[in-house]
Amino acid sequence: MSTVARDRLDTTTIDAPPGLAGVVVAPTAIGDVRGLEGYFHYRGYSAVELASRTSVEEVWHLLVDGELPTAAELAAFSADVRRRRQLPPQIARLLPGLAEAARGGDPLAGLRAALSVVGAELGLRPLYDSDPAERRDAVLTLGALTPVLLAELSRRQRGLAVVTPDDGAGFVADYLWRVTGAEPDARHVTALSTYLVATVDHGFNASTFTARVIASTGADPAACLVGALGSLSGPLHGGAPSRVLDALDEIAHARRAREWARDQISAGRRVMGFGHPVYRTEDPRSAMLREVVLDLGAPRAELAVAVEREVLAALEELKPGRALHTNVEFYASVLLEACGIPREAFTATFATARTIGWSAHVLEQAADPKIIRPSARYVGPTPPRPLP
């Protein structure tokens, strides 16, 4: 590189804020999060309204194909993804060993390994070498297999027999049936569907950005999803719902909530389920799920509402003006428990939805030939350093 070219790069490099907060890194037509307004949407449709009125399959079609389906399109799309639930033979043989290796742990660990093998067994080609139709086919298969893999891993890790639901079960009912081992209550299916639709996409969060970075290299779709899952496993991203339930266990009674919150804040510990890097208002997903768990009569719904009130009071007392509110994970924990999903599978359940959103972003990123390659600001010793 010439000195002139290098100097030009040096002068156009811009220091980004911590965490890339507010930095626009790519255009997208999939959705947007408006943190100051407390609003987010998928392709122009209010995500909260979609969560209240549509199914996972409808929103899946919207994100991947660009439009909400007609009745005929929905029937065809739903049938298509149902037939893709059949596990490839090599994966079916592999799952017992993966579950045993992580017995009692997080099903996501097994899923990362399983999806890598799925990509190889199905012969998924790099995005760089495939056309849009082939890419769409690949991500639909991965999205359909993900809940099946997670449910089977979860049951095997708990030492339970694998269950195969009726062939006609929809996405949410099929997953609930597989993970709990029994035909689900219709009210639980509706509640879980609301949660999954509300969390299928949420802007350029850490896991979505990870998927897009990998997609920009031209890697195969399974590699993109495996990378996103690695990002999702972190407690500061997708790993908080079970920790919220741990906190509710510890608090036990609403009268202890404020004292507990004061202790957490004074000790500099994070209060899981509160605060969000984008929203400066109440998280609209949290507000919606609060009503869902109350309507559902979830066992901890009343406690959660009381704890929210007391923790917010403590936060206002100790961190005035910080505008901290509950995030989606707070009431998600109460909802998932009420639906019979084991605590260790909470983040995995979140992943069944987010995989669909990641897939849409992978397809969108694959259409851009430019690799994502940001710069870093070097802060180490001044070069050149003499060798000792």
Extract the tokens encoding 373.
Answer: 């390659």
Helix and strand totals (H; E) in the chain: 17, 3
203 closest CA partner among 21, 8, 371: 21
**DSSP assignments along 36-65, one per residue:** TTTEEEETTEEHHHHHHH--HHHHHHHHHH
Q: In the annotation, is 100 catalytic?
A: no
Residue 202 dihedral angles phi and psi, to the nearest 5°:
-160, 60
Token pair 């949290």: residue: 286
Catalytic option among 276, 308, 325, 364: 276
Catalytic option among 57, 58, 152, 329: 329
Are the CB atoms for 221 and 142 separated by under 8 Å?
Answer: yes
Q: Which residues contact 169 (CB under 8 A, 6 or more apart)?
A: 177
Between CA 260 and CA 237 the distance in angstroms is 23
Q: In the annotation, is 361 catalytic?
A: no
367 closest CA partner among 162, 173, 127: 127
Handedness of CA 232, 236, 237, 239 (dihedral sign): positive
Q: Which residues contact 184 (CB under 8 A, 6 or more apart)?
A: 173, 176, 177, 339, 340
SS3 326: strand
Residue type, position 17, single letter = P
Residue type, position 313, single letter = A
Extract the tokens encoding 34.
Answer: 């408006």
151 closest CA partner among 130, 171, 128: 171
Extract the tokens encoding 364.
Answer: 């969108």
Q: Which residues contact 76 (CB under 8 A, 6 or more apart)?
A: none
Q: Which residues are catalytic?
A: 276, 329
